């Protein structure tokens, strides 16, 4: 099956800082989603981005499908951004998740 690697595994930021999270995957994909899992366990859809670039407020994402990676950018981070960020990909069926990046934003 498709392998998904996320980096870094942990990240600590001061409020207001910017960050880049990376997702590498081992095969071509038809679906790539970024999720934020909040401290209560809810998985929140951030982006559906099998290719190209999207922006939503302080967050943006870029997927370069031909090179098998995706980047999630967080600008001007806030304490509410804390949690785990997951990248998930699929070819033709099963969505496979990476192990996530745990982000802690301190005031």
Partner 1 sequence: EAGVAQSPRYKIIEKRQSVAFWCNPISGHATLYWYQQILGQGPKLLIQFQNNGVVDDSQLPKDRFSAERLKGVDSTLKIQPAKLEDSAVYLCASSHQSGGWVEQYFGPGTRLTVT
Chain positions contacting partner 1, by CB under 8 A: 4, 29-31, 33, 35, 40-43, 45, 48, 50, 86, 88, 90-95, 97-100
Taking the complex as a whole, the smallest distance from the CB of residue 73 to partner 1 amounts, in Å, to: 20
Q: Give DSSP secondary structure letters for the chain.
A: ---EEEE-SEEEEETT--EEEEEEESS--SEEEEEEE-TT--EEEEEE-SSEEEEETTEEEEEEGGGTEEEEEE-S--GGG-EEEEEEEESSS--EE---EEEEEE-
CB-nearer residue toward partner 1: 13 or 88? 88
CB-nearer residue toward partner 1: 14 or 40? 40
CB-nearer residue toward partner 1: 68 or 91? 91
């Amino acid at each position: 099956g498709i392998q998904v690697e996320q980096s870094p595994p942990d990240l600590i930021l001061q409020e207001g800082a910017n960050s880049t999270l990376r997702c590498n995957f081992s095969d071509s994909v038809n679906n790539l989603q970024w999720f934020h899992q909040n401290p209560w366990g809810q998985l929140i859809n951030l982006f559906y981005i099998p290719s190209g670039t999207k922006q939503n407020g302080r967050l943006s994402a870029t997927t370069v499908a031909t090179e098998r990676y995706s980047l999630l950018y967080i600008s001007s981070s806030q304490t509410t951004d804390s949690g785990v960020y997951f990248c998930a990909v699929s070819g033709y069926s099963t969505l496979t998740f990476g192990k996530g990046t745990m982000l802690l934003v301190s005031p």
